[in-house]
A and B are shown apart, each in its own frame.
Chain A
Amino acid sequence: MFKNLFKRESNRREVLAAGFVVPDSARCVQCGICSFNCPINIDVRNFAWQGRPIENSQCINCGECVTRCPRGVLRFERTSLFAEA
């Protein structure tokens, strides 16, 4: 139980240092767990279907979607890296 909490916390720290959540669409099976767990109701799954980074100004980078995705579809990409791309 506590272990899970700690897991989330460390994930969150990593996220705050990072930029966008980015999907790897080839891994996504549209199960909806990401959208279901987004605390501000961003339809993360739809971005994954379109293969686009989650470019929603409301995103608070909490990491819920990244942690909960059962397929490891989502990752963080640092803003600087993203800007270079």
Chain B
Amino acid sequence: MTNYVIVGTGVAGIGAAEAIRSVDAHGTITFISEDLHGYYSRPGLAYYLTGEVDEKLLFPLKPGDLKKLNAHFSHGNVVRIYPQKHQVELSDGKHVYYERLLLAIGSNAIPLKVPGANLHGVAKLDNLEDTRRLVSLTKNARTAVVLGGGITALELAEGLASRKLKVHLVIRTAHCWSSVLDKIEAQIIEHKLNHDGITIHPNSELTSIQGKHGKVAGISLASGEQIDCEILAYGIGVQPRLQLPKEAGMACERGILVDEHQATSLPDIFAAGDVVQVHDPLSGRSIIESLWSPAREQGWVAGLNMAGQRAVYSLSVPLNVTRLAGLTTTIIGAVGSRDESEPLTIAHGDSETWRDIPDAIIAQSGFDVNHLRLVVGKNTIVGAIVIGDQKLSSPLQVMIRNRVDISEIRDQLIAPEAPIADIVANLWSKLHASQN
């Protein structure tokens, strides 16, 4: 009977336990996590903040599901791994023996380092405790400043605005989420944020947080501008938790290095999820995915291998779905990086409603703004951003993943003012017709 220990109760850890149970009914599975709340939807925290879900809805597993996993959950902080002895040590000095160990310890928010960062009222959105604290802070606050330009910062801004706070969003760059969105897309989002009462301060640097009686009272920007506020919330990036694996002598770069079976450089130790750096054989690059579905998938593959199967994790075309200023947004493939060898052309389309998209494509629709950007390679579409109406999202996922030849519509697509959504939809209908 194998003794499995999983450190971390995030989606990677749960995915691994489900995989183990799918092939091994008898082994013992022990979860150790420092998060008191166990497994919950971290992305869902943003909607707990907006008030769209109750806290109890953040927990996907019902008692019956947990029973099926037949795992033991214990609260604890793993501070050391002894690879030779096959043991982990907890902060209370307790040692736990493993035959197979999974590190699914994720990443955490990059801490804020400005004077005043320790004041009461400085908050983040990294785990359930943070979110509870933030929700309770909003009860006695009128104004919040949010620092950061990425998804988490935008979610913070929207969440706080929906709790009727006056929100200022302080962004270091000229536009929000500038690593992914282009100027037009950022403007669409920023326009909607403004409409929701969020004031954006672009090209701005936070220099200090001022306090009164130990509580946040305001902030200063490098420009000299000061904003009075009771909350300073920040989302300035995440970093894999590498101290534990590094101290154990595990090979790490920006994340824990694993092979295609999710095995680390140390015997019987596997790793999965946000803490891991995976190798992309196609591009030769190593990447940290930092996304929910890949974390689950990696966990699943790790679990199968821990249970003695030979499963392989392979990177698929990147897919990130989010909601920005109320607009469902799908990002597929290469949209931000422009360092590919292939010459790329960008095609844009905006519309209140896409005109000729056939009824057969049924998906989320009815947004007041729709926007589509395609990154077009020589014969294929290599990346896409779909904002608003999602009818083309799934066809584009398939077309990009399967490198569908688009040479016959390439010229139409890249022509100025081209109705690109309709062109793509037509090609999709044709592809479908030819398959039936």
Interface-located stretch among B116-124, B192-200, B204-212, B316-324: B316-324
Shortest Cβ distance from B54 into A: residue: A36
B43 lies within 8 A of chain A by Cβ: yes
**Which of B20-28, B136-144, B360-368, B376-384 contacts its partner?**
B360-368
Complex alpha-carbon distance, A7 and B114, angstroms:
45
Among A3, A29, A35, A75, residue most surrounded by chain B Cβ atoms (within 10 Å): A29
Nearest chain B CB to A21's CB is how many angstroms away? 10
Chain B positions within 8 Å of A31 at CB level: 41, 43-44, 46-47, 53, 58
Contact A72 B41 (CB under 8 A): no
Alpha-carbon gap, A7 to B46, bound state (A): 24
B362 touches A75 (CB 8 A): yes
Query: What is the chain A residue whose CB lies nearest that of B386?
Result: A72
List the A side residues contacting B309 at CB < 8 Å: none
A72→B393 contact, CB < 8 A:
yes
Contacts A31-B53, A32-B53 given; indicate if A45 touches B364 (C-beta within 8 A): no
A residues near B53, Cβ cutoff 8 Å:
31-33, 36
> Distance (Å) between the CB of A3 and the closest chain B CB?
7
Task: State the interface size on chain B (CB cutoff 8 A).
Answer: 31
Question: How distant is the Cα of A36 from the Cα of B53 in the complex, in angstroms?
Answer: 7
Contact (Cβ within 8 A) B47 A70: yes
A66 contacts B60, CB within 8 Å?
no
User: For A69, what are the chain B residues with a Cβ–Cβ distance below 8 Å?
Assistant: 328, 364
Q: B313 near A: Cβ within 8 Å?
A: no
Sort chain A's interface into a size bin: 35 or more
Q: Which residue of A lies closest to B18 (CB)?
A: A49
The smallest beta-carbon distance between B54 and chain A, in angstroms, is 7
- The answer on a CB contact under 8 Å between B364 and A25 is no
Given contacts A30-B44, A31-B44, A32-B58, contact A25 B366 (CB under 8 A): no
Residues of A close to B47: CB separation below 8 A: 31-33, 70
Task: Give chain A nearest CB distance to B111 CB in angstroms.
Answer: 24
1/0 per residue, CB under 8 A from A, across B38-67: the answer is 000111101100001110011010100000
Alpha-carbon gap, A68 to B283, bound state (A): 37
Query: B11 on the interface (CB 8 Å rule)?
Result: yes
Q: Which residues of A contact B58 (CB under 8 A)?
A: 31-32
Which residues of chain A have C-beta atoms less than 8 A from B11's C-beta? Answer: 30
> 0/1 per residue, A28-46, Cβ < 8 Å to B?
1111110110000001011
A64 within 8 A of B: no
Distance in Å: Cβ of A36 to nearest Cβ of chain B: 5
B305 at interface (Cβ–Cβ under 8 A)?
A: no
Q: A14-B362, A25-B293, A75-B364 are contacts. A33–B390 as well, Cβ < 8 Å?
A: no
Q: List 11 A-B contacts (CB under 8 A).
A: A11-B366, A30-B43, A31-B47, A31-B58, A32-B57, A33-B47, A33-B57, A70-B47, A70-B328, A76-B362, A78-B362
- Besides the known contacts A32-B58, A72-B364, 7 further A-B residue pairs in the complex with CB atoms under 8 A apart: A3-B368, A26-B293, A29-B41, A29-B44, A30-B60, A49-B60, A72-B328
Q: Give the B-binding residues of A (Cβ under 8 A).
A: 3, 7, 10-11, 14, 18, 24-33, 35-36, 43, 45-46, 49, 66-78
